Amino acid sequence: MAFRAVVSRVYRGEISADIVGKPKVWYSISGLLLVFSIAGLLIQGLNFGVEFKGGSVFTFGASSHSIEQVRGAVTGAGAHQAIVQKAGDDWRVTTESLSSQQVTEVKQNIAKELSVPADKVSTQVVGASWGGEIQSKAWQALVVFMILIIAYLSVAFEWRMALAAVVALVHDLVITAGVYAWSGFEVTPATLLGFLTILGYSLYDAVVVFDMIKEVTKPLTPTSKITYSEAANQALSSTLVRSLNTSLVAILPVAAILFIGTTLFGAGTLKDLSLSLFVGMIVGTYSSICVATPLLVQLKEREPKYVQLRQNLARREASAKRQAKAAKAGAAVDDTLADDVPEDTAGDGDVPAGVTVRKVVQQGPRQQPKRGTRTQRRSK
């Protein structure tokens, strides 16, 4: 309950979360996610679709038959590999690259085994060279995108912000790709569209946070009362609720497509697109807040002016502690001197033997005895 109360207060903006001050926590979480994702890429690997590795695709309607019957009808005609997917009321079967004669034989066997007219079986043959060209174009687009992002952020902000944003983007790509590897989802052109979308989304979130940090930290001087880290954390806290709300609103419809559209309607293409969007949006929101911002702060804290600011604040704090300690020590001495004087409870002025009493004599003009008039002195 206490945790829920704290989260609720942070969400309402009543308190600020110390995100910048705990980089080791966030880096540890990111490290675990990256290890998990890289392991998936190395062990499972990405399941590239026919558009990338080449092959033959057969699409036909036979809703009354099972997956085993559909796979048997395709492999029975000479195809060695058959990936069967349900897309609504239709079946989509992907095989290795087949010749024209083999494609015709597969169509005839499907018509015979599944009672589907041969002219209702749609075929598509993708060459391996075309798939390789698609992969090459995709990598080129990614490199150009990264270069443009670095150039834009370096001009609009500075190179440290550009570096932090690019690190967050690579972080998002690797983790999303790792989830794809472990899930076994097919990588299709729709997947690439999803990847490009999450890159833009993650970048948007990072730019919003960086712009607020730039505005809040701009007035800082060596005589300021807060460090760059504290100012950046204040800026991040002020945009935290906005980032969470934006992400939540964007993730909900994507989750509906992924979990409802694919399970109830069997939308294969939407499944490939929605998984990359769903994972990428969650990871992108996390990285822009918990990875890019702490990394930016660590880079900025190395600048000479912010190093001097931190040293000045440390000296002021040490001086204030010394003054407080001296004042406390002086008060303790006064209390000790007051305790040395015994209390005369009897009121007779007697003091125990061997005890020295310090008497305080009130300073002021000395009182002289009154002298009489000249006539009175003569009479004496």
Q: Look at residue 138 and give its three-state secondary structure.
A: helix
Name the average pLDDT for the chain.
Answer: 77
344 pLDDT more than 70 = no
Confidence of residue 154 (pLDDT cuts 50, 70, 90): confident
Per residue in 16-49, pLDDT tens?
677 888 889 999 999 999 999 999 999 988 888 7
Q: Quick: pLDDT tens for 247-301.
A: 888 888 888 888 776 666 555 567 777 888 888 889 988 998 899 999 999 998 8
Structure letter (DSSP) for residue 33: H
CB atoms within 10 A of CB 5: 9
- Compute the average pLDDT of residues 194-205: 81
pLDDT in tens, 75-105: 877 777 777 877 667 788 888 778 788 888 8
Neighbours of 358 (CB within 10 A): 7
As a whole number of angstroms, the distance between CA 93 and CA 59 comes to 6
Distance CA 107, CA 118 (A): 6
Asked if residue 187 lies in contact with residue 270, where contact means CB atoms within 8 angstroms, the answer is no
Among 78-82, 174-178, 201-205, the least confident range: 78-82
Exposure string of 311-330, with b = 16+ CB inside 10 Å and e = fewer, is ebbeeeeeeeeeeeeeeeee
Residue 58 has pLDDT above 90, yes or no: no
User: What is the pLDDT, as a whole number, of residue 30?
Assistant: 93
Q: How far apart are CA 205 and CA 195, in angstroms?
A: 16
At 12 the pLDDT is 58
Residue that the structure tokens 């990875």 belong to: 291
Helix-then-strand count for the chain, H and E:
14, 6
d(CA 293, CA 295): 5
Phi and psi, residue 362, nearest 5°: -70, 125
346 phi/psi in degrees, rounded to 5? -80, -20
Work out whether the CA dihedral 310, 315, 318, 324 comes out positive or negative. negative
Q: Read off the pLDDT band of 357 (50, 70, 90).
A: very low
Distance separating the N- and C-terminal Cα atoms of the chain: 98
Q: Which amino acid is at 186?
A: E
Residue 374 is encoded by which pair of tokens? 């000249």
d(CA 197, CA 202): 9
Query: How far is 309 from 312, CA to CA, in rounded Å?
Result: 5
Task: List the structure tokens of 80.
Answer: 């060695």
Query: Do residues 209 and 246 make contact, with C-beta atoms less than 8 angstroms apart?
Result: no
> Which pLDDT does position 362 carry in this prediction?
47
pLDDT for 361 equals 46
55-126 is classed in which CATH architecture? 2-Layer Sandwich (3.30)
DSSP 368: P
The CATH homologous superfamily to which domain 12-25+130-310 belongs is Multidrug efflux transporter AcrB transmembrane domain (1.20.1640.10)
Q: Using alpha carbons only, how large is the chain's radius of gyration in Å?
A: 39
The answer to pTM > 0.85 is no
* Bridge partners of residue 59, in order along the sequence: 92, 122
Domain boundaries, the chain: 12-25+130-310, 55-126
